[in-house]
């Protein structure tokens, strides 16, 4: 069975963030991920990781004003300086927290901007980020997002994202493949993950519809986990779902798959 990490942005969100680490460890997770660490001092987060024997496997680059609805700024031609400052901030946290990869949410396409300009900005920003992350020994991940949940998100398919990464041309830049998002946008989950396995550095999951825990929707996770084992995926899978009730009440899927 693949290695599973608790996404602490989504799971245990009934308690304060720094209290979620202990709950993840209690429930058997050996690793965690989350969207952003920046509201906390790195030392506070590191203390929770160490106290609970947890590995941090992923967090994101800064993504603009999240509370105002921004979902990344990497494709915004007028935000390049801000993006680069965010890269430096993220690397600082990554070094302190011992994480080996950072994800870039590229953002929603600004209204009225030409696609050619957006793509040029994105490629240049990702090339810069990949270069800076490589100096720090880190991987850069780029994640396509479904446009039902986030209308206008610039990267919304695996082939489109890989095309951008081809243009970036960095050997430490990879696809982050979110099963939920790609089920909504393109399907062909097993075949796509197998085809692009060497270029996928991280996978995330949730069921569809609803983005709840596995077993609540249409995706056959027992099959997909077996498939990932068969094709040799050895990375982490982040459990980035919204619990249908509470996190603890919804962990039956995990226990069942581990049998």
CA 232, CA 2: separation in Å to the nearest integer?
10
CA 184 to chain centre: 16
- Tokens 């094709």 belong to residue: 231
User: Which of 44, 70, 132, 143 is an active site residue?
Assistant: 143
CA 114 to chain centre: 27
Residue 100, helix vs strand vs coil = coil
Contacts of residue 190, defined as CB under 8 A and 6 or more positions apart, other chains included, come to 223, 224, 227
124 is catalytic: no
Residue 166: φ, ψ to 5°? -60, -40
Tokens of 32: 């965690």
- Note whether 105 and 155 are within 8 A (CB): no
User: Which of 33, 44, 218, 240 is an active site residue?
Assistant: 240
In degrees to the nearest 10, what's the CA dihedral of 38, 42, 44, 45? 80
Residue 58, helix vs strand vs coil = strand
- Note whether 227 and 190 are within 8 A (CB): yes
33 is catalytic: no
Q: Which residues are catalytic?
A: 143, 240
């Amino acid at each position: 069975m693949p290695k599973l990490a608790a996404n602490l942005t989504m799971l245990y969100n009934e308690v304060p963030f720094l209290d979620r680490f202990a709950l993840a460890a209690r429930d058997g997770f050996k690793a965690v991920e989350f969207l952003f660490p920046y509201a906390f001092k790195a030392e506070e987060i590191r203390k929770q990781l160490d106290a609970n024997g947890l590995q941090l496997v992923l967090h994101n680059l800064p993504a603009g004003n999240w509370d105002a609805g921004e979902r990344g700024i990497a494709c915004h031609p007028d935000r390049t300086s801000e993006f680069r400052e965010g890269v430096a901030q993220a690397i600082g946290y990554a070094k302190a927290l011992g994480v080996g990869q950072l994800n870039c949410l590229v953002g929603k396409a600004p209204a009225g901007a030409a696609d050619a300009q957006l793509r040029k900005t994105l490629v240049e920003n990702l090339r810069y980020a990949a270069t800076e992350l490589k100096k720090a020994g880190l991987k850069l991940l780029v994640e396509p997002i479904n446009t039902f949940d986030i209308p206008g998100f610039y990267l919304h398919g695996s082939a489109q994202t890989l095309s951008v990464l081809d243009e970036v041309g960095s050997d430490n830049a990879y696809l982050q493949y979110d099963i939920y998002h790609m089920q909504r946008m393109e399907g062909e989950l097993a075949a796509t993950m197998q085809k692009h396995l060497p270029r996928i550095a991280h996978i995330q999951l949730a069921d569809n519809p609803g983005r709840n825990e596995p077993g609540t929707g249409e995706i056959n996770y027992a099959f997909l986990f077996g498939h990932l084992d068969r094709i040799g995926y050895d990375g982490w899978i982040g459990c980035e779902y919204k619990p249908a009730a509470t996190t603890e009440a919804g962990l039956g899927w995990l226990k069942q798959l581990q049998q």
